[in-house]
């Protein structure tokens, strides 16, 4: 078996392989470390962090749907201060690129969080969750507003020299317009896609199953949508893409890379099999080796249409 090069670059961010663990499905690393060797993973993306700790939504927060699940966790997290004090020391034990996901309810809060975190050397990049309500604008999501996404990218970039990845919402007409704005304002990469808005009702009580009424749909049910969004971005903007959406196995990873992803994130699958990242990395090595692919990065955007 020939040695295969699984390493990839997402802009200036170098990863030993294209497998990242998605925000909200890996906590702050410690639970997952019981199942997999974090040193073998391409990188981990933290649970969304906000300036202050957030309690999150009351139950019910998750509901299973056909080949997927809805969640409305409500950005429950420890906040940046506790993260630096209590979570970073554990992560320092590992040689795994750490990407901090940031959530906020104002542009100032995004900036403030980035400023506080950027000095921490363990953090290699930021992923900005723009699928959060903008409190000043009456709760409209930043992610649905081109100007807001542009302004967040510009202002976050201005306060860090680490790569800034904007995690795009699929709940828009043209996701590529948002990717263009990110590029214009100096963003280093986009991750696509965040969850799709969905809901589920109890047919007997006629009440929503989630306390928050709607939630974010994830899992294999959304994979075709995610692939189409990644392809749309790839065909209209030159910016590195991290593909996300229902990846369950190595074949899904290859498919996401073919349509344009430089790296990918595993999300919901971690809940079902916390060892999945490890298994997929081995399978990818095997696939490349048997198919004469020397560098997996060759696959990115290799589609033939």
Q: Is 101 in the site for other proteins (CB under 8 A)?
A: no
Q: Is 198 in the site for other proteins (CB under 8 A)?
A: no
| Structure-token pair, residue 119 | 């000095």
Q: Is 31 in the site for other proteins (CB under 8 A)?
A: yes
Q: Is 131 in the site for other proteins (CB under 8 A)?
A: no
Asked whether the CA dihedral 154, 156, 159, 160 is positive or negative, the reply is negative
Q: Is 108 in the site for other proteins (CB under 8 A)?
A: no
Q: Is 64 in the site for other proteins (CB under 8 A)?
A: yes
Identify whether the C-beta of residue 5 lies closer than 8 Å to the C-beta of residue 42. Answer: no
Binding span for other proteins by CB under 8 A among 20-28, 96-104, 119-127, 179-187 = 20-28
Q: Is 129 in the site for other proteins (CB under 8 A)?
A: no
**Catalytic entry in 113, 132, 159, 288:** 132
Q: Is 53 in the site for other proteins (CB under 8 A)?
A: yes
Q: Is 203 in the site for other proteins (CB under 8 A)?
A: no
Q: Is 100 a catalytic residue?
A: no
Identify whether the C-beta of residue 44 lies closer than 8 Å to the C-beta of residue 26. Answer: yes
For 86, counting Cβ atoms within 10 Å of its Cβ (0-12 exposed, 13-18 middle, 19+ buried), the class is exposed
Residue closer to other proteins by CB (options 62, 228) is 62
Distant-in-sequence, close-in-space partners of 151: CB < 8 Å, separation ≥ 6: 107, 185
Distant-in-sequence, close-in-space partners of 226: CB < 8 Å, separation ≥ 6: 170, 192, 193, 243, 244, 245, 246, 256
The CA radius of gyration of the chain, in Å to the nearest whole number, is: 18
Residue closer to other proteins by CB (options 158, 272) is 272
Q: Is 194 in the site for other proteins (CB under 8 A)?
A: no
Binding span for other proteins by CB under 8 A among 30-38, 100-108, 149-157, 160-168 = 30-38
User: Which of helix, strand or coil describes residue 100?
Assistant: strand
Residue closer to other proteins by CB (options 61, 155) is 61
Identify whether the C-beta of residue 289 lies closer than 8 Å to the C-beta of residue 47. Answer: no
Binding span for other proteins by CB under 8 A among 2-10, 53-61, 117-125, 290-298 = 53-61
Q: Is 248 in the site for other proteins (CB under 8 A)?
A: yes
Q: Is 71 in the site for other proteins (CB under 8 A)?
A: yes
Helical H segments across the chain, by residue range: 79-82, 88-91, 107-118, 146-158, 175-184, 223-236, 250-258, 269-272, 276-290
With CB under 8 A as the rule, give the number of residues binding other proteins: 38
Residue closer to other proteins by CB (options 76, 225) is 76
Q: Is 11 in the site for other proteins (CB under 8 A)?
A: no
Which of 26, 130, 148, 253 contacts other proteins by CB under 8 A? Answer: 26
Which of 11, 56, 133, 301 contacts other proteins by CB under 8 A? Answer: 56
User: Which of helix, strand or coil describes residue 91?
Assistant: helix
d(CA 182, CA 2): 39
E strand or H helix at 133: strand 133-134
Binding span for other proteins by CB under 8 A among 26-34, 85-93, 176-184, 258-266 = 26-34
Residue closer to other proteins by CB (options 35, 287) is 35
d(CA 115, CA 81): 12
Distant-in-sequence, close-in-space partners of 119: CB < 8 Å, separation ≥ 6: none
d(CA 178, CA 8): 24
- Residues catalogued as catalytic: 132
Chain residues binding other proteins by CB under 8 A are: 24-27, 31-32, 34-35, 47, 53, 55-64, 66-69, 71, 73, 76, 219-221, 248, 268, 270-275
């Amino acid at each position: 078996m020939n040695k295969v090069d699984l390493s990839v670059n997402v802009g200036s961010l170098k990863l030993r392989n294209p497998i990242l663990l998605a925000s909200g499905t890996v906590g702050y690393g410690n639970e997952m470390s019981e199942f997999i060797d974090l040193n073998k993973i391409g990188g981990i993306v933290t649970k969304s962090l906000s300036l202050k700790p957030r309690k999150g939504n009351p139950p019910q927060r998750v509901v299973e749907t056909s080949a997927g699940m809805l969640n409305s966790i409500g950005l429950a997290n420890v906040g940046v201060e506790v993260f630096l004090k209590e979570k970073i020391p554990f992560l320092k034990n590992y040689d795994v690129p750490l990407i901090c996901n940031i959530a906020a309810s104002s542009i100032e809060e995004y900036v403030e969080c980035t400023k506080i975190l950027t000095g921490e050397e363990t953090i290699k990049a930021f992923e900005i969750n723009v699928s959060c309500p903008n409190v000043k604008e009456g709760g409209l999501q930043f992610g649905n507003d081109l100007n807001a996404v542009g302004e967040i990218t510009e202002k976050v970039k201005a306060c860090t020299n680490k790569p800034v990845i904007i995690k795009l919402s699929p709940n828009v007409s043209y996701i590529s317009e948002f990717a263009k704005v990110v590029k214009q304002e100096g963003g280093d990469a986009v991750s696509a896609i965040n969850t799709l808005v969905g809901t589920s009702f109890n047919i007997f009580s006629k009440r929503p199953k989630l306390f928050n009424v709607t939630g974010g749909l994830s899992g294999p049910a959304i994979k075709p949508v995610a692939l189409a969004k990644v392809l749309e971005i790839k065909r209209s903007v030159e910016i590195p893409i991290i593909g996300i959406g229902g990846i369950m196995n190595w074949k899904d990873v290859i498919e996401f890379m073919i349509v344009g992803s430089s790296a990918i994130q595993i999300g919901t699958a971690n809940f079902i099999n916390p060892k999945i990242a490890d298994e997929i990395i081995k399978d990818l090595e095997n696939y490349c080796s048997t198919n004469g692919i020397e560098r997996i990065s060759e696959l990115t955007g290799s589609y033939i249409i």
